[in-house]
A and B are shown apart, each in its own frame.
Chain A
Amino acid sequence: MIEYLPGLFRGVIVTIKLGFSFFIFGFVVGNIIAIGQVYGNKFISLFCAGFAWVFRSLPALVILYLWYFGFNLSPFLAAVLALGLRTAAYQSQFFRGAIQSIARGQMTAARSLGMSKLRAVVKIIMPQMLRLSLPYISNEYAITIKDTSLAFAIGVVEILKEGRLIITVLHNPMDIFMIIAVIYLIITRGGTYLLSLLEKHYRIPGFEISN
Protein backbone atom coordinates (compact mmCIF):
# COMPACT_ATOMS: atom_id res chain seq x y z
CA MET A 1 0.00 0.00 0.00
CA ILE A 2 2.86 2.36 0.88
CA GLU A 3 4.08 2.36 -2.71
CA TYR A 4 0.82 3.95 -3.79
CA LEU A 5 1.09 6.94 -1.50
CA PRO A 6 3.14 9.04 -3.94
CA GLY A 7 0.24 8.76 -6.39
CA LEU A 8 -2.16 10.02 -3.77
CA PHE A 9 0.24 12.80 -2.93
CA ARG A 10 0.40 13.85 -6.60
CA GLY A 11 -3.37 13.99 -6.52
CA VAL A 12 -3.32 16.20 -3.43
CA ILE A 13 -1.01 18.64 -5.18
CA VAL A 14 -3.28 18.80 -8.23
CA THR A 15 -6.31 19.32 -5.98
CA ILE A 16 -4.66 22.15 -4.09
CA LYS A 17 -3.30 23.76 -7.24
CA LEU A 18 -6.67 23.57 -8.92
CA GLY A 19 -8.56 24.78 -5.86
CA PHE A 20 -6.29 27.76 -5.29
CA SER A 21 -6.18 28.73 -8.95
CA PHE A 22 -9.90 28.95 -9.41
CA PHE A 23 -10.56 30.34 -5.94
CA ILE A 24 -8.25 33.28 -6.63
CA PHE A 25 -9.59 33.68 -10.16
CA GLY A 26 -13.09 33.67 -8.68
CA PHE A 27 -12.08 36.15 -5.99
CA VAL A 28 -10.85 38.69 -8.52
CA VAL A 29 -13.76 38.27 -10.91
CA GLY A 30 -16.19 38.22 -7.97
CA ASN A 31 -14.90 41.61 -6.81
CA ILE A 32 -15.31 43.09 -10.26
CA ILE A 33 -18.82 41.69 -10.66
CA ALA A 34 -19.91 42.97 -7.25
CA ILE A 35 -18.57 46.46 -7.84
CA GLY A 36 -20.05 46.49 -11.33
CA GLN A 37 -23.40 45.43 -9.96
CA VAL A 38 -23.48 48.14 -7.27
CA TYR A 39 -21.67 51.06 -8.88
CA GLY A 40 -21.99 50.36 -12.60
CA ASN A 41 -24.47 52.06 -14.89
CA LYS A 42 -27.78 50.32 -15.63
CA PHE A 43 -26.38 48.14 -18.37
CA ILE A 44 -23.28 47.01 -16.47
CA SER A 45 -25.26 46.45 -13.30
CA LEU A 46 -27.82 44.31 -15.09
CA PHE A 47 -25.11 42.34 -16.86
CA CYS A 48 -23.30 41.62 -13.59
CA ALA A 49 -26.50 40.58 -11.86
CA GLY A 50 -27.37 38.29 -14.77
CA PHE A 51 -23.90 36.77 -14.80
CA ALA A 52 -24.11 36.05 -11.08
CA TRP A 53 -27.55 34.52 -11.38
CA VAL A 54 -26.71 32.25 -14.31
CA PHE A 55 -23.48 30.92 -12.82
CA ARG A 56 -25.09 30.34 -9.46
CA SER A 57 -28.01 28.52 -11.02
CA LEU A 58 -26.14 26.14 -13.33
CA PRO A 59 -24.77 22.84 -12.06
CA ALA A 60 -20.98 22.89 -11.93
CA LEU A 61 -20.85 19.88 -14.20
CA VAL A 62 -22.77 21.65 -16.97
CA ILE A 63 -20.41 24.63 -16.82
CA LEU A 64 -17.45 22.26 -16.88
CA TYR A 65 -18.72 20.50 -19.99
CA LEU A 66 -19.49 23.74 -21.77
CA TRP A 67 -15.93 24.98 -21.28
CA TYR A 68 -14.35 21.64 -21.94
CA PHE A 69 -16.24 20.69 -25.09
CA GLY A 70 -16.97 24.21 -26.24
CA PHE A 71 -13.51 25.71 -26.27
CA ASN A 72 -11.21 22.77 -26.67
CA LEU A 73 -9.21 23.64 -23.57
CA SER A 74 -6.99 21.41 -21.52
CA PRO A 75 -8.96 19.75 -18.72
CA PHE A 76 -7.10 21.73 -16.06
CA LEU A 77 -7.69 25.11 -17.71
CA ALA A 78 -11.31 24.28 -18.44
CA ALA A 79 -11.75 23.36 -14.77
CA VAL A 80 -10.14 26.60 -13.56
CA LEU A 81 -12.35 28.73 -15.79
CA ALA A 82 -15.58 26.81 -15.20
CA LEU A 83 -15.29 26.38 -11.46
CA GLY A 84 -13.73 29.85 -11.18
CA LEU A 85 -16.70 31.58 -12.79
CA ARG A 86 -19.01 29.65 -10.53
CA THR A 87 -17.26 30.66 -7.32
CA ALA A 88 -16.97 34.20 -8.75
CA ALA A 89 -20.74 34.31 -8.99
CA TYR A 90 -21.15 33.20 -5.39
CA GLN A 91 -18.39 35.45 -4.06
CA SER A 92 -19.79 38.46 -5.91
CA GLN A 93 -23.00 38.11 -3.95
CA PHE A 94 -21.17 38.11 -0.59
CA PHE A 95 -19.22 41.18 -1.68
CA ARG A 96 -22.36 42.89 -2.90
CA GLY A 97 -24.11 42.20 0.38
CA ALA A 98 -21.13 43.60 2.24
CA ILE A 99 -21.00 46.74 0.08
CA GLN A 100 -24.69 47.32 0.62
CA SER A 101 -24.31 46.91 4.37
CA ILE A 102 -21.68 49.65 4.38
CA ALA A 103 -23.52 52.90 5.03
CA ARG A 104 -24.04 55.10 1.96
CA GLY A 105 -22.47 57.95 3.92
CA GLN A 106 -19.04 56.33 3.45
CA MET A 107 -19.13 56.96 -0.29
CA THR A 108 -20.53 60.46 0.14
CA ALA A 109 -17.87 61.37 2.67
CA ALA A 110 -15.11 60.09 0.39
CA ARG A 111 -16.49 62.07 -2.54
CA SER A 112 -16.80 65.17 -0.34
CA LEU A 113 -13.04 65.02 0.22
CA GLY A 114 -12.56 65.15 -3.53
CA MET A 115 -11.85 61.47 -4.20
CA SER A 116 -12.87 60.12 -7.58
CA LYS A 117 -15.48 57.35 -7.56
CA LEU A 118 -12.88 54.74 -8.46
CA ARG A 119 -10.48 55.86 -5.75
CA ALA A 120 -13.29 55.91 -3.19
CA VAL A 121 -14.22 52.35 -4.13
CA VAL A 122 -10.63 51.13 -3.88
CA LYS A 123 -9.58 53.03 -0.75
CA ILE A 124 -12.76 53.29 1.28
CA ILE A 125 -15.35 50.75 0.16
CA MET A 126 -13.20 47.73 -0.70
CA PRO A 127 -11.19 47.55 2.54
CA GLN A 128 -14.45 47.49 4.46
CA MET A 129 -16.17 45.11 2.06
CA LEU A 130 -13.34 42.58 2.20
CA ARG A 131 -13.32 42.57 5.97
CA LEU A 132 -17.06 42.13 6.19
CA SER A 133 -17.11 39.28 3.69
CA LEU A 134 -14.19 37.30 5.12
CA PRO A 135 -16.36 34.88 7.11
CA TYR A 136 -18.35 34.06 3.97
CA ILE A 137 -15.21 33.83 1.89
CA SER A 138 -13.75 31.32 4.28
CA ASN A 139 -16.88 29.21 3.90
CA GLU A 140 -16.64 29.57 0.15
CA TYR A 141 -13.03 28.40 0.26
CA ALA A 142 -14.13 25.10 1.82
CA ILE A 143 -16.74 24.70 -0.91
CA THR A 144 -14.12 25.47 -3.54
CA ILE A 145 -11.80 22.75 -2.33
CA LYS A 146 -14.63 20.24 -2.36
CA ASP A 147 -15.68 21.34 -5.85
CA THR A 148 -12.25 20.44 -7.23
CA SER A 149 -13.47 16.84 -7.15
CA LEU A 150 -15.87 17.67 -9.99
CA ALA A 151 -12.95 18.21 -12.35
CA PHE A 152 -12.69 14.42 -12.22
CA ALA A 153 -15.56 14.38 -14.71
CA ILE A 154 -13.51 16.00 -17.47
CA GLY A 155 -10.41 13.98 -16.75
CA VAL A 156 -8.34 16.07 -14.35
CA VAL A 157 -6.33 13.56 -12.34
CA GLU A 158 -6.86 14.96 -8.88
CA ILE A 159 -6.94 13.13 -5.60
CA LEU A 160 -10.26 11.36 -6.15
CA LYS A 161 -9.14 10.08 -9.54
CA GLU A 162 -5.79 8.95 -8.14
CA GLY A 163 -7.73 7.14 -5.45
CA ARG A 164 -9.93 5.35 -7.96
CA LEU A 165 -6.85 4.29 -9.91
CA ILE A 166 -5.33 2.75 -6.78
CA ILE A 167 -8.61 1.04 -5.94
CA THR A 168 -8.72 -0.70 -9.32
CA VAL A 169 -5.41 -2.34 -8.38
CA LEU A 170 -5.76 -2.93 -4.65
CA HIS A 171 -9.51 -3.57 -4.35
CA ASN A 172 -9.68 -1.84 -0.98
CA PRO A 173 -12.09 1.00 -1.72
CA MET A 174 -13.03 1.88 1.84
CA ASP A 175 -9.43 2.33 3.05
CA ILE A 176 -8.55 4.59 0.18
CA PHE A 177 -11.78 6.59 0.38
CA MET A 178 -11.29 7.15 4.10
CA ILE A 179 -7.73 8.37 3.56
CA ILE A 180 -9.05 10.73 0.88
CA ALA A 181 -11.83 11.96 3.15
CA VAL A 182 -9.33 12.74 5.89
CA ILE A 183 -7.10 14.59 3.42
CA TYR A 184 -10.05 16.72 2.32
CA LEU A 185 -10.96 17.44 5.92
CA ILE A 186 -7.40 18.58 6.61
CA ILE A 187 -7.28 20.87 3.56
CA THR A 188 -10.68 22.44 4.20
CA ARG A 189 -10.27 22.75 7.97
CA GLY A 190 -6.68 23.94 7.75
CA GLY A 191 -7.59 26.60 5.22
CA THR A 192 -10.57 27.89 7.14
CA TYR A 193 -8.41 28.02 10.26
CA LEU A 194 -5.81 30.15 8.47
CA LEU A 195 -8.56 32.40 7.15
CA SER A 196 -9.95 32.80 10.65
CA LEU A 197 -6.50 34.02 11.75
CA LEU A 198 -6.60 36.54 8.91
CA GLU A 199 -10.04 37.58 10.06
CA LYS A 200 -8.75 38.17 13.60
CA HIS A 201 -5.75 40.06 12.35
CA TYR A 202 -7.79 42.47 10.26
CA ARG A 203 -10.62 42.80 12.72
CA ILE A 204 -11.60 46.35 13.59
CA PRO A 205 -13.15 46.93 17.00
CA GLY A 206 -16.87 47.42 16.73
CA PHE A 207 -17.02 46.88 12.97
CA GLU A 208 -18.80 43.76 11.83
CA ILE A 209 -22.01 42.55 10.28
CA SER A 210 -24.20 41.84 13.24
CA ASN A 211 -26.50 38.88 12.86
Chain B
Amino acid sequence: MEERKEILRVEDLHKSYGTNKVLQGISLNIKQGQTKVIIGPSGTGKSTLLTCVNYLNPPDKGRIWLEGEEIIYSEREINKIRQKKGFVFQQFNLFNHLTALGNVMVGLTEVLKKKKKEAREKAMYELERVGMADCAEQYPAELSGGQQQRVGIARALAMDPLLIMFDEPTSALDPELMGEVLDNMTKLALEGMTLLVVTHEMGFARAVADDIIFMENGRIVEEGPPEKLIMNPEKKRTIEFLQKITQLYGED
Protein backbone atom coordinates (compact mmCIF):
# COMPACT_ATOMS: atom_id res chain seq x y z
CA MET B 1 0.00 0.00 0.00
CA GLU B 2 1.32 3.42 -0.89
CA GLU B 3 2.22 5.73 1.96
CA ARG B 4 -0.49 8.36 2.36
CA LYS B 5 -0.01 11.84 3.71
CA GLU B 6 -0.64 12.33 7.40
CA ILE B 7 -3.40 14.90 7.98
CA LEU B 8 -3.69 15.04 11.75
CA ARG B 9 -1.43 13.86 14.51
CA VAL B 10 -2.17 14.23 18.20
CA GLU B 11 0.33 13.38 20.89
CA ASP B 12 -0.22 12.99 24.60
CA LEU B 13 -3.23 15.28 24.90
CA HIS B 14 -4.32 16.14 28.46
CA LYS B 15 -7.33 18.09 29.68
CA SER B 16 -8.85 18.49 33.14
CA TYR B 17 -11.85 20.34 34.49
CA GLY B 18 -10.85 21.08 38.05
CA THR B 19 -9.91 17.72 39.51
CA ASN B 20 -11.81 15.83 36.81
CA LYS B 21 -9.10 14.46 34.50
CA VAL B 22 -11.07 14.12 31.28
CA LEU B 23 -8.23 13.41 28.84
CA GLN B 24 -5.19 11.58 30.17
CA GLY B 25 -2.74 11.30 27.34
CA ILE B 26 -4.47 10.73 24.02
CA SER B 27 -2.39 10.07 20.92
CA LEU B 28 -3.72 9.34 17.46
CA ASN B 29 -3.13 10.08 13.81
CA ILE B 30 -5.18 10.14 10.65
CA LYS B 31 -3.92 9.80 7.11
CA GLN B 32 -5.48 11.39 4.09
CA GLY B 33 -8.76 9.75 3.07
CA GLN B 34 -8.99 7.71 6.24
CA THR B 35 -12.09 7.46 8.39
CA LYS B 36 -11.56 6.91 12.08
CA VAL B 37 -14.44 6.20 14.40
CA ILE B 38 -14.23 6.83 18.13
CA ILE B 39 -16.49 4.86 20.44
CA GLY B 40 -16.69 4.76 24.21
CA PRO B 41 -18.99 5.17 27.21
CA SER B 42 -20.65 8.46 28.02
CA GLY B 43 -18.53 10.99 29.88
CA THR B 44 -15.32 9.42 28.65
CA GLY B 45 -14.06 12.56 26.97
CA LYS B 46 -14.89 11.94 23.32
CA SER B 47 -16.46 15.36 22.78
CA THR B 48 -13.70 16.96 24.80
CA LEU B 49 -11.11 15.32 22.55
CA LEU B 50 -12.68 16.75 19.39
CA THR B 51 -13.06 20.24 20.82
CA CYS B 52 -9.48 20.16 22.13
CA VAL B 53 -8.14 19.20 18.71
CA ASN B 54 -9.88 22.30 17.39
CA TYR B 55 -8.85 24.46 20.37
CA LEU B 56 -12.52 25.34 20.88
CA ASN B 57 -11.52 24.15 24.27
CA PRO B 58 -7.76 24.53 24.67
CA PRO B 59 -5.95 21.40 25.94
CA ASP B 60 -3.78 21.63 29.05
CA LYS B 61 -0.93 19.68 27.55
CA GLY B 62 -0.06 17.87 24.36
CA ARG B 63 0.99 18.55 20.79
CA ILE B 64 -1.04 18.63 17.62
CA TRP B 65 0.17 18.58 14.01
CA LEU B 66 -1.87 19.44 10.97
CA GLU B 67 -0.41 18.25 7.65
CA GLY B 68 2.87 17.70 9.43
CA GLU B 69 3.04 21.22 10.81
CA GLU B 70 2.77 21.69 14.53
CA ILE B 71 -0.01 23.99 15.69
CA ILE B 72 1.29 26.78 17.85
CA TYR B 73 -1.68 28.21 19.68
CA SER B 74 -2.42 31.91 19.25
CA GLU B 75 -5.71 33.74 18.83
CA ARG B 76 -4.88 34.78 15.29
CA GLU B 77 -3.37 31.52 14.07
CA ILE B 78 -6.10 29.37 15.50
CA ASN B 79 -8.82 30.93 13.36
CA LYS B 80 -6.81 29.94 10.28
CA ILE B 81 -6.33 26.42 11.60
CA ARG B 82 -10.01 26.00 12.36
CA GLN B 83 -10.96 26.87 8.79
CA LYS B 84 -9.17 23.72 7.73
CA LYS B 85 -11.01 21.45 10.14
CA GLY B 86 -14.72 21.06 9.66
CA PHE B 87 -16.87 20.39 12.69
CA VAL B 88 -20.34 18.83 12.71
CA PHE B 89 -22.22 19.08 16.00
CA GLN B 90 -24.55 16.76 17.80
CA GLN B 91 -27.06 19.60 18.21
CA PHE B 92 -26.48 20.85 14.63
CA ASN B 93 -25.84 24.44 15.83
CA LEU B 94 -27.09 25.98 12.61
CA PHE B 95 -27.20 29.77 12.81
CA ASN B 96 -30.81 30.54 13.62
CA HIS B 97 -31.03 33.82 11.77
CA LEU B 98 -29.67 32.52 8.47
CA THR B 99 -31.31 30.33 5.82
CA ALA B 100 -29.80 26.98 4.91
CA LEU B 101 -27.94 28.73 2.10
CA GLY B 102 -26.89 31.56 4.41
CA ASN B 103 -25.49 29.04 6.89
CA VAL B 104 -23.28 27.50 4.24
CA MET B 105 -22.28 30.86 2.78
CA VAL B 106 -21.37 32.70 5.96
CA GLY B 107 -18.04 30.95 6.43
CA LEU B 108 -17.14 31.60 2.81
CA THR B 109 -17.94 35.31 2.88
CA GLU B 110 -16.87 36.16 6.41
CA VAL B 111 -13.90 33.88 6.94
CA LEU B 112 -12.56 33.08 3.49
CA LYS B 113 -13.58 36.53 2.18
CA LYS B 114 -15.08 35.16 -1.01
CA LYS B 115 -17.30 37.31 -3.22
CA LYS B 116 -21.04 36.89 -2.65
CA LYS B 117 -21.66 35.36 -6.05
CA GLU B 118 -18.84 32.89 -5.81
CA ALA B 119 -19.84 31.97 -2.28
CA ARG B 120 -23.43 31.38 -3.36
CA GLU B 121 -22.38 29.04 -6.16
CA LYS B 122 -20.08 27.09 -3.90
CA ALA B 123 -22.74 26.90 -1.18
CA MET B 124 -25.39 25.69 -3.64
CA TYR B 125 -22.97 23.05 -4.86
CA GLU B 126 -22.41 21.79 -1.32
CA LEU B 127 -26.13 21.82 -0.53
CA GLU B 128 -26.71 19.76 -3.64
CA ARG B 129 -24.07 17.30 -2.52
CA VAL B 130 -26.05 16.59 0.63
CA GLY B 131 -29.38 16.67 -1.19
CA MET B 132 -30.56 19.93 0.38
CA ALA B 133 -30.61 22.27 -2.62
CA ASP B 134 -34.41 22.39 -2.56
CA CYS B 135 -34.43 23.77 0.97
CA ALA B 136 -31.80 26.47 0.40
CA GLU B 137 -34.13 29.34 1.33
CA GLN B 138 -35.56 27.73 4.45
CA TYR B 139 -34.59 28.71 7.99
CA PRO B 140 -33.26 26.10 10.44
CA ALA B 141 -36.48 26.06 12.45
CA GLU B 142 -38.35 25.03 9.30
CA LEU B 143 -36.15 21.98 8.70
CA SER B 144 -36.29 18.51 10.23
CA GLY B 145 -33.38 17.39 12.37
CA GLY B 146 -31.97 15.24 9.61
CA GLN B 147 -32.19 18.11 7.14
CA GLN B 148 -30.53 20.46 9.62
CA GLN B 149 -27.67 18.06 10.10
CA ARG B 150 -27.18 17.74 6.33
CA VAL B 151 -26.93 21.52 6.14
CA GLY B 152 -24.42 21.30 9.01
CA ILE B 153 -22.35 18.91 6.90
CA ALA B 154 -22.61 21.20 3.87
CA ARG B 155 -21.48 24.13 6.01
CA ALA B 156 -18.37 22.19 7.04
CA LEU B 157 -17.73 20.94 3.50
CA ALA B 158 -17.93 24.41 1.97
CA MET B 159 -14.71 25.45 3.68
CA ASP B 160 -12.83 22.71 1.77
CA PRO B 161 -11.41 21.35 5.01
CA LEU B 162 -8.55 18.89 5.34
CA LEU B 163 -10.71 16.77 7.60
CA ILE B 164 -14.16 16.86 9.14
CA MET B 165 -14.86 15.96 12.73
CA PHE B 166 -18.30 14.67 13.68
CA ASP B 167 -19.50 14.60 17.29
CA GLU B 168 -22.34 12.09 17.50
CA PRO B 169 -24.00 13.58 14.42
CA THR B 170 -27.03 11.30 14.56
CA SER B 171 -27.69 10.88 18.26
CA ALA B 172 -30.12 13.83 18.44
CA LEU B 173 -32.11 12.42 15.53
CA ASP B 174 -35.14 10.19 15.37
CA PRO B 175 -34.09 6.75 14.08
CA GLU B 176 -35.87 7.20 10.76
CA LEU B 177 -33.84 10.35 10.05
CA MET B 178 -30.42 8.87 10.85
CA GLY B 179 -30.15 7.13 7.52
CA GLU B 180 -30.05 10.29 5.41
CA VAL B 181 -27.18 11.68 7.50
CA LEU B 182 -25.20 8.44 7.67
CA ASP B 183 -25.62 7.94 3.92
CA ASN B 184 -24.10 11.34 3.31
CA MET B 185 -21.20 10.59 5.60
CA THR B 186 -20.61 7.27 3.89
CA LYS B 187 -20.59 9.03 0.54
CA LEU B 188 -17.99 11.51 1.81
CA ALA B 189 -15.79 8.69 3.08
CA LEU B 190 -15.97 6.90 -0.24
CA GLU B 191 -15.12 10.13 -2.07
CA GLY B 192 -11.91 10.24 -0.10
CA MET B 193 -12.67 12.88 2.54
CA THR B 194 -10.81 12.46 5.81
CA LEU B 195 -13.21 11.89 8.70
CA LEU B 196 -12.92 11.67 12.47
CA VAL B 197 -16.26 10.50 13.81
CA VAL B 198 -17.58 9.97 17.30
CA THR B 199 -20.60 7.68 16.94
CA HIS B 200 -22.23 4.58 18.26
CA GLU B 201 -23.65 3.57 14.88
CA MET B 202 -21.68 0.35 14.57
CA GLY B 203 -23.17 -0.39 11.17
CA PHE B 204 -21.59 2.77 9.84
CA ALA B 205 -18.35 2.08 11.67
CA ARG B 206 -18.07 -1.42 10.28
CA ALA B 207 -18.84 -0.39 6.73
CA VAL B 208 -16.78 2.77 6.49
CA ALA B 209 -14.12 3.02 9.21
CA ASP B 210 -10.50 2.24 8.50
CA ASP B 211 -9.92 2.17 12.21
CA ILE B 212 -12.06 2.14 15.31
CA ILE B 213 -10.77 3.66 18.53
CA PHE B 214 -12.25 2.52 21.82
CA MET B 215 -11.84 5.18 24.47
CA GLU B 216 -12.55 5.02 28.18
CA ASN B 217 -11.80 7.35 31.08
CA GLY B 218 -9.76 9.69 28.95
CA ARG B 219 -7.51 6.98 27.55
CA ILE B 220 -7.46 4.96 24.37
CA VAL B 221 -8.03 1.35 25.38
CA GLU B 222 -7.79 -0.30 22.00
CA GLU B 223 -7.52 0.68 18.37
CA GLY B 224 -7.78 -1.34 15.22
CA PRO B 225 -9.61 -1.99 11.96
CA PRO B 226 -13.27 -3.02 12.32
CA GLU B 227 -12.66 -6.69 11.52
CA LYS B 228 -10.31 -6.91 14.43
CA LEU B 229 -11.84 -4.54 16.96
CA ILE B 230 -15.42 -5.66 16.50
CA MET B 231 -14.96 -9.35 15.71
CA ASN B 232 -11.89 -10.06 17.71
CA PRO B 233 -11.14 -7.48 20.41
CA GLU B 234 -8.23 -8.07 22.76
CA LYS B 235 -9.18 -6.13 25.85
CA LYS B 236 -11.87 -7.25 28.28
CA ARG B 237 -13.34 -3.74 28.56
CA THR B 238 -13.77 -3.55 24.80
CA ILE B 239 -15.70 -6.80 24.74
CA GLU B 240 -17.97 -5.66 27.55
CA PHE B 241 -18.62 -2.30 25.92
CA LEU B 242 -19.39 -3.83 22.53
CA GLN B 243 -21.84 -6.22 24.15
CA LYS B 244 -23.53 -3.31 25.85
CA ILE B 245 -24.00 -1.27 22.72
CA THR B 246 -25.26 -4.16 20.65
CA GLN B 247 -27.86 -4.66 23.37
CA LEU B 248 -28.62 -0.95 23.35
CA TYR B 249 -28.64 -0.19 19.67
CA GLY B 250 -29.33 -3.62 18.23
CA GLU B 251 -27.29 -5.27 15.55
CA ASP B 252 -27.09 -2.47 12.95
Contacts and interface: CB of A to CB of B under 8 A. Distances in A.
Asked if A and B touch directly (CB within 8 angstroms), the answer is: yes
Interface residues of B, number: 30
B141 A207 contact: yes
Interface of A: 102-103, 105-106, 108-116, 119, 123-124, 127-128, 131, 204-207
**A contact face: mostly helix, strand, loop, or mixed:** helix
B96 A109 contact: no
Given A106-B93, A113-B106, A128-B97, 17 more contacts: A105-B89, A105-B91, A106-B96, A108-B51, A111-B56, A112-B82, A113-B83, A115-B110, A116-B75, A119-B110, A119-B111, A124-B97, A127-B97, A205-B139, A206-B139, A206-B141, A207-B96
Given A105-B89, A105-B91, A205-B141, A113 B107 contact: yes
Interface of B: 51, 54, 56, 75, 79-83, 85-87, 89, 91-97, 106-107, 110-111, 139-142, 155, 159
B159 A113 contact: yes
Contacts, number: 79
29 contacts: A103-B93, A105-B91, A105-B92, A105-B93, A108-B51, A108-B89, A109-B87, A109-B89, A112-B82, A112-B87, A112-B89, A113-B106, A113-B111, A113-B155, A114-B81, A114-B83, A114-B111, A114-B159, A115-B79, A115-B107, A119-B111, A123-B106, A123-B110, A124-B95, A204-B96, A205-B142, A206-B141, A207-B96, A207-B141
Given A109-B87, A206-B139, A115 B97 contact: no
Contacts of A113: 82-83, 106-107, 111, 155, 159
Contacts of A114: 79-83, 107, 111, 159
Nearest first, the 7 A-B pairs at minimum CB distance are A206-B141, A114-B83, A105-B93, A109-B93, A112-B87, A114-B82, A113-B107
B96 A112 contact: no
A167 B215 CA distance: 83
A106 B142 CA distance: 17
B56 A131 contact: no
Contacts of B111: 113-115, 119
A114 to B, nearest CB: 4
